[in-house]
Amino acid sequence: MNEVILEARGLKKHFKVKSSFLSPPSLVKAVDGVSLEVHRGETFAIVGESGCGKSTLARLLMHLLSPTEGKVFFEGVDVVQRSGEDLTSLRKDVQFVFQDPFSSLNPRMTVGKLVGEPLEVHRQDLSAAERGEKVKQLLEQVGLQGDHANRYPHEFSGGQRQRIGIARALASGPKLIIGDEPVSALDVSVQAQIVNLLSDLRDELSLTFIVIAHDLSIIRHMSDRVAVMYLGQIVEMGPAEEVFSNPRHPYTIALLSAVPEPKVGQQKPLVPLMGETPGPSASIPGCQFNNRCRFARDICRQSPPKHSVFGEQGQHKVACHFEQGASNQTKHNSLSGANTRSPQVETRFQLYQAALHGKKAVPKHPNAIEQEELT
Ligand SMILES: Nc1ncnc2c1ncn2[C@@H]1O[C@H](COP(=O)(O)OP(=O)(O)O)[C@@H](O)[C@H]1O
Ligand code: SF4
Ligand SMILES: [Mg+2]
């Protein structure tokens, strides 16, 4: 599963925006130096609060936007250099599933036409009758009925419309599907069905998925690896099980503490973030998270942290000055079960919480506290 299908290197997208006619333009660093690798056959999740740059990153990865800086390689070929036939073949291989299935489907087209459209572009070898047959097959593959092809999108529920969106994405026979918040607009009861459908399709069709979400509970059970984004940068990335069980970056810890636990009594203490997310054009020196981090020190305001690597194969990366890839990393990561926290991480959570209630000052980074508490 470790063959790289998609790679981003130092990807940046900066927008110049003007808030009023007279004001000078300010710079929104929507994506600001993202490097990642997506492996063939995996589900790679990108999570973070609204406005952190997830959709912009997705558009860069598909070459729907040109980067300000950096490169994207799909199957080893630079996507920015693609044009003409090369670009058409990229569009065939990489497809998108949108957040809002209603606005992404043309209401004047029948479902048959909507799902058949990509076939007209990418499968010109098929006759009209064969295309009709293929559309039926695709609809059945996503849990709809073949005769739904004659209906219009408004005749379907939200979940069914998302199934139509998925059938449309599958039509070209893609290798990679990018889902930008594919279930966020759906009722909670329907979300699980669509998540299950995506997981089944991935296995059946040997697809690779990039799933974007602001809600961690959704991607927890469907992703192999996860990248956590904050203000255009990846602050933590690694195997999903490890990031969920042993989060290291203070931002990830705060995000995860807000995820409801299915079992009574297992809820983690809530770790609220300090302050507000800075405005999109705010310029923050040093670590982008420093004005919301309880552990910020002078160094955090002076220089941006580099990614440190953890885990047996160095797959777990964390951008924090106080996560230095400790030599006892494997002990730190020891897990007794997929959803169980290590005692160290549990202690860290408890300390965050105690501090928030004024029981203990939090002058130090959790690792430092942890050492004191555990020895
Ligand atoms: N075309 C654009 N012009 C100016 N700013 C943009 C544009 N697209 C996105 N942004 C800004 O970039 C930031 C990231 O946006 P986006 O990628 O949509 O975040 P997310 O998907 O995580 O909610 C936001 O501050 C947004 O306002
Ligand atoms: S401790 Fe410093 S480097 Fe680490 S997340 Fe907080 S502000 Fe950033
Ligand atoms: Mg978005």
For residue 51, how far is its CA from the centre of ligand 1 (angstroms)? Answer: 6
> What angle separates helix 343-356 from helix 250-257, to the nearest 10 degrees?
80
Residue nearest to atom 18 of ligand 1 (CA): 55
Tell me the one-letter amino acid at 111: V
Residue nearest to atom 17 of ligand 1 (CA): 53
Ligand 2 pocket, 168 CB below 6 A? no
CA 290 to ligand 2: nearest atom: 7
Ligand 2 pocket, 289 CB below 6 A? yes
Task: Quote the pLDDT of residue 258.
Answer: 77
Q: Which two tokens stand for residue 160?
A: 């069914």
Site residues for ligand 1, CB cut-off 6 Å: 15, 17, 28, 30, 48, 50-56, 280
In order of 243, 313, 354, the CA distances from 374 in angstroms are: 22, 26, 16
Length of the chain: 375
Task: Quote the pLDDT of residue 60.
Answer: 96
Ligand 2 pocket, 318 CB below 6 A? no
Which ligand ends up closest to the CA of 53?
1
Q: Which neighbouring-strand residues pair with 238?
A: 226
Phi, psi (deg, nearest 5) at residue 37? -130, 135
d(CA 344, CA 330): 12
CA 300 to ligand 2: nearest atom: 2
Task: Quote the pLDDT of residue 357.
Answer: 54
The DSSP-derived string for 205-249 is HT-EEEEEES-HHHHHTT-SEEEEEETTEEEEEEEHHHHHHS--S
The DSSP-derived string for 326-374 is -TTHHHHT--SSTTPPPHHHHHHHHHHHHHHTTSS---S-HHHHHHHHH
Under 8 Å CB-to-CB from 272, ≥6 apart: which residues? Answer: 254, 356
Residue nearest to atom 5 of ligand 1 (CA): 15
CA 53 to ligand 1: nearest atom: 17
Q: Could you count the other beta carbons within 10 Å of the beta carbon of residue 322?
A: 21
**Burial 81-90, CB ≥16 within 10 A → b, else e:** ebeeeeeeeb
Task: Quote the pLDDT of residue 354.
Answer: 61
Q: Which ranges in the chain belong to alpha helices (H)?
A: 54-61, 85-93, 101-104, 111-122, 128-141, 158-170, 188-205, 216-220, 240-245, 250-257, 298-302, 329-332, 343-356, 366-374
Ligand 2 pocket, 156 CB below 6 A? no
- pLDDT (tens digit, 0 to 9) for every residue of the chain, 375 residues total? 589 999 999 999 999 988 777 788 889 999 999 999 999 999 999 999 999 999 999 999 999 999 999 999 999 999 988 888 888 889 999 999 988 877 888 999 999 999 999 999 998 899 999 999 999 999 999 999 999 999 999 999 999 999 999 999 999 999 999 999 999 888 888 999 999 999 999 999 999 999 999 888 888 878 999 999 999 999 999 999 999 888 899 999 888 887 777 666 666 667 777 777 887 778 899 999 999 998 888 899 999 999 988 877 778 999 998 876 543 333 333 322 333 456 666 666 666 556 555 554 444 555 554 444 433
In order of 45, 71, 224, the CA distances from 79 in angstroms are: 21, 8, 25
Which ligand ends up closest to the CA of 98?
3
Ligand 2 pocket, 319 CB below 6 A? no
Task: Quote the pLDDT of residue 175.
Answer: 97
pTM, to two decimals: 0.87
Residue nearest to atom 20 of ligand 1 (CA): 51
For residue 348, how far is its CA from the centre of ligand 3 (angstroms)? Answer: 31
Instruction: Give me the residue spans of the domains in the chain.
Output: 4-223, 246-374
Q: Which neighbouring-strand residues pair with 4?
A: 39
In words, the CATH class of domain 4-223 is alpha beta
Task: Quote the pLDDT of residue 168.
Answer: 96
C-alpha closest to that of 165 among 189, 182, 188: 182
In the chain, what is the greatest distance between 2 CA atoms, to the nearest angstrom?
73
Ligand 2 pocket, 230 CB below 6 A? no
